[in-house]
C-alpha cells in the first residue's frame, strides 16, 4: 500500500552512499598532468607534483638551543656544583673555531654553533657568575639544550610527499631547506554557475519574488581555499537549452564545471536534462542530508582532453555548502593531483536528542561549549532548514551522524568536524 510522507527525502530507488560517491570520483577522475616550476612565494595552496627531498641538514650544524654556557659533560663534578672558567664567547651567526679545554665553559647564545668538544649547554638562568668563573648546578643530562645537525630534517630524506597541498607551514619548511622554487601541478580551472529564475546579483535591486545569489560567492570562496582558478560565469535562467549551451561552452575551457540549484526533480529543475544532453551522468543522488541531489557527470568530447568533470549541487545554501565540501572538494583534490583528505572528526558529547533515517549520512550544525564537568558539549542550532544560511556563521561546525545511526541521545558521543576542517583549510 502506498504511504504518504512529508519527508522530502522519501525517494524511489536506493541512493548512493557518500563513500561510494567519493570512490567513484577517485576512480573516474584523472589528475591533470602538466607541471610547472613555481616560486615559493606564490606556491601557497598549490599541489606538489613530486616529492621533495631535503637538500641540506636542518639544523645544518650542532648549535645551542638556549642562552647559557656550553661545557663538556665529562668535566662536571660527579656531585654538587661545578665551577668553570669562562674561556670564550659564541653568538648566533658568528663562526669562530673555538675548542673547549678541560674544565672550561664557553658563553654561548641561542643558535650559535657548539664549540668543538662541547656537548651540553646550561641555561643562563640556572647559573651564577662569581669572580673567576661560572657556577653550574648539578643534575643536567649530557646533550641538554643542544640541537644536533640534522635532528630536525636529515639531508636526503623525503620531507614532503607528491600531492601535498602547500600551507604556510609547508612553505616555511621548504624555505628552511633553502629552496626558492617547487615543482607543482598546474592549477585546476573551475567554472561556477548559479541557476534559478529567482536569483539576483548582489548590488542589483531585488525584484518582488527574487533572492540574492549566495551560492556563487560561497562556493567560489571554498574553491579558492583549494588553490583553484575560479571563473565566475554568473546566473543561468531555468531553461534547459540555455543550460546545455552554457555547460558545453564552459566544459571547453575548464577542468570542472560546478552549478548550484535546479538539480532536484521539480518541474523547474532542468540541470539533469541539460547535463544528459551534453555529457554522461555518473550519479545524481547521494544519501546525505542536507544535500541529496548531487549530480556528478563528465561533459563534452570523446577524448579526455576535450572533457570536463561536472558537479551539480542543490540550491539551498547549506546543502550546497555541505555537498561542495563532501563531493566537490574530493573531486578538486583528485583533479589537482592532491592526496585524498578526510576532515578530522573529533568526538564530543551531544547535548541534544536527534532522530534520523538509517542509511543516510546527516550533518547537524552545532555550537561547542565546555560543560561544568569539563567535557566539550555540542548544541544543535535552533533552525534545521537547508536554506538557513545564517546557521553557518552562528555555529562552530557539524556533527557527522553515520548511516548506521538512527537516534542520537543527550550524553552520547558524536563526531564533530570544524568548518575549517570541513572546507579543507590548510
Ligand atoms: P533548487 O535546488 O533550485 O530547487 O533551489 C532550492 C532552494 O535554494 C530554493 O529556495 C532556491 O531559491 C534556493 N537557491 C537556489 N540557488 C540559490 C543561490 N544561488 N543562492 C541562494 N539561494 C539559492
Ligand atoms: Mg531552482
Out of 144-153, 262-271, 327-336, least confident range: 262-271
- How many Å lie between the centroid of ligand 2 and the Cα of residue 107? 73
pLDDT at 302 over 90: no
Nearest-atom number in ligand 1 for the CA of 266 is 4
pLDDT of residue 4: 39
Q: What is the pLDDT of residue 14?
A: 67
* pLDDT, tens only, 221-245: 999 999 999 999 999 999 999 999 9
* Ligand having the closest approach to the CA of 237: 2
Question: Tens digit of pLDDT for each residue in 39-82?
Answer: 999 999 999 999 999 999 999 999 999 999 999 999 999 999 99
Q: Which pLDDT value is given to residue 268?
A: 81
Confidence of residue 206 (pLDDT cuts 50, 70, 90): very high
pLDDT at 89: 95
What pLDDT is stored for residue 414 in this prediction? 98
Q: Is the pLDDT of residue 207 over 70?
A: yes
CA-proximal residue: ligand 1, atom 14 (nearest): 315
Arithmetic mean of pLDDT over the chain: 94
Q: Best mutation site among 8, 196, 201 for ligand 1, i.e. most ligand atoms within 8 A of its Cβ? A: 196
User: Best of 265, 313, 316, 324 to mutate for ligand 1, by most ligand atoms within 8 A of CB?
Assistant: 316
Q: Is the pLDDT score of 9 beyond 50?
A: no
pLDDT of residue 8: 38
Considering the entire predicted model, what is its pTM? Answer: 0.92
Q: Whose CA is nearest to atom 5 of ligand 1?
A: 315
Neighbours of ion ligand 2 (CB under 5 A): 196, 261-262, 315
Confidence check: pLDDT of 303 > 90: no
Ligand 1 center–CA 316 separation, angstroms: 5
Helix/strand/coil (H/E/C) assignment for every residue in the chain: CCCCCCCCCCCCCCCECHHHHHHHHHHHCCCCCCEEEEEHHHCCCCEECCCEECCCCECCCCEECCCEEEECHHHCCCCCCEEEEEEEEECCCCCCCCECCCCEEEEECCCCECCECCCEEEEHHHCEEECCEEEECCCCCCCCCEECCCCCECCCCEEECCCCECCHHHHHHHHHCCCCEEEEECCCEEEEEEECCCEECCCCCCCCCCEECCHHHHHHHHHHHCCCEEEEEEEECCCHHHHHHHHHHHHHHCCEEEEECCCCCCCCCCHHHHHHHHEEEEEEEECEECCCEEEEEEEECCCHHHEEEEEEECCCHHHHHHHHHHHHHHHHHHHCCCCCCCCCCEEEEECCCEECCCCCEEEEEEEEEECCCCCEEEEECCCCCCCCCCHHHHCCEEEEECCCCCEECCCCEEEEEEHHHHHCCC
Ligand 2 midpoint to CA 262 (Å): 4
CB within 6 Å of ligand 1 — which residues?
A: 194, 196, 198-199, 211, 213-215, 260-264, 266, 269, 314-317, 387
pLDDT (average), residues 209-221: 98
Task: For 99-134, write each residue's pLDDT tens digit.
Answer: 899 999 999 999 999 999 999 999 999 999 998 799
Question: How much is the pLDDT for 10?
Answer: 41
Amino acid at each position: 500500500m502506498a504511504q504518504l510522507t512529508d519527508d522530502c527525502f522519501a525517494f524511489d530507488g536506493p541512493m548512493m552512499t557518500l563513500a561510494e560517491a567519493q570512490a567513484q570520483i577517485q576512480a573516474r577522475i584523472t589528475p591533470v598532468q602538466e607541471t610547472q616550476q613555481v616560486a615559493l612565494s606564490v606556491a601557497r595552496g598549490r599541489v606538489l607534483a613530486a616529492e621533495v627531498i631535503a637538500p641540506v641538514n636542518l639544523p645544518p650544524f650542532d648549535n645551542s638551543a638556549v642562552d647559557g654556557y656550553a661545557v663538556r659533560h665529562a668535566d662536571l663534578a660527579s656531585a654538587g656544583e661545578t665551577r668553570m672558567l669562562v674561556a670564550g664567547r659564541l653568538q648566533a651567526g658568528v663562526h669562530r673555531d673555538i675548542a673547549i679545554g678541560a674544565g672550561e665553559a664557553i658563553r654561548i647564545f641561542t643558535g650559535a654553533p657548539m664549540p668543538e668538544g662541547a656537548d651540553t649547554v646550561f641555561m643562563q638562568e640556572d647559573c651564577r657568575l662569581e669572580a673567576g668563573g661560572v657556577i653550574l648546578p648539578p643534575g643536567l643530562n649530557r646533550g641538554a639544550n643542544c640541537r644536533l645537525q640534522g635532528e630536525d630534517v636529515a639531508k636526503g630524506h623525503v620531507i614532503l610527499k607528491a600531492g601535498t597541498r602547500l600551507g604556510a607551514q609547508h612553505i616555511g619548511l621548504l624555505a628552511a631547506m633553502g629552496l626558492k622554487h617547487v615543482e607543482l601541478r598546474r592549477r585546476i580551472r573551475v567554472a561556477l554557475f548559479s541557476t534559478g529564475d529567482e536569483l539576483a546579483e548582489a548590488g542589483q535591486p531585488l525584484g518582488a519574488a527574487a533572492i540574492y545569489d549566495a551560492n556563487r560567492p560561497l562556493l567560489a570562496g571554498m574553491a579558492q581555499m583549494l588553490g583553484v582558478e575560479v571563473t565566475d560565469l554568473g546566473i543561468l535562467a531555468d531553461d534547459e537549452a540555455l543550460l546545455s549551451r552554457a555547460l558545453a561552452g564552459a566544459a571547453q575551457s575548464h577542468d570542472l564545471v560546478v552549478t548550484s540549484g535546479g538539480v532536484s526533480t521539480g518541474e523547474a529543475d532542468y540541470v539533469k536534462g541539460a547535463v544528459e544532453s551534453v555529457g554522461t551522468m555518473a550519479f545524481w543522488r547521494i544519501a546525505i542530508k542536507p544535500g541529496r541531489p548531487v549530480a556528478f557527470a563528465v561533459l563534452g568530447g570523446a577524448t579526455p582532453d576535450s572533457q570536463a568533470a561536472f558537479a551539480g549541487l542543490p540550491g539551498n545554501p547549506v546543502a550546497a555548502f555541505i555537498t561542495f565540501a563532501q563531493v566537490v572538494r574530493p573531486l578538486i583534490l583528485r583533479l589537482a593531483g592532491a592526496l585524498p583528505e578526510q576532515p578530522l572528526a573529533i568526538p564530543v558529547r551531544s547535548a541534544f536528542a536527534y532522530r534520523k533515517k538509517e542509511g543516510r549520512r546527516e550533518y547537524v550544525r552545532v555550537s561547542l561549549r565546555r560543560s561544568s564537568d569539563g567535557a566539550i558539549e555540542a548544541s544543535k542550532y535552533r533552525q534545521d532548514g537547508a536554506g538557513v544560511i545564517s546557521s553557518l556563521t552562528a555555529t562552530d561546525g557539524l556533527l557527522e551522524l553515520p548511516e548506521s545511526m538512527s537516534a542520537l541521545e543527550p550524553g552520547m558521543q558524536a563526531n564533530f568536524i570544524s568548518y575549517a576542517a570541513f572546507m579543507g583549510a590548510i
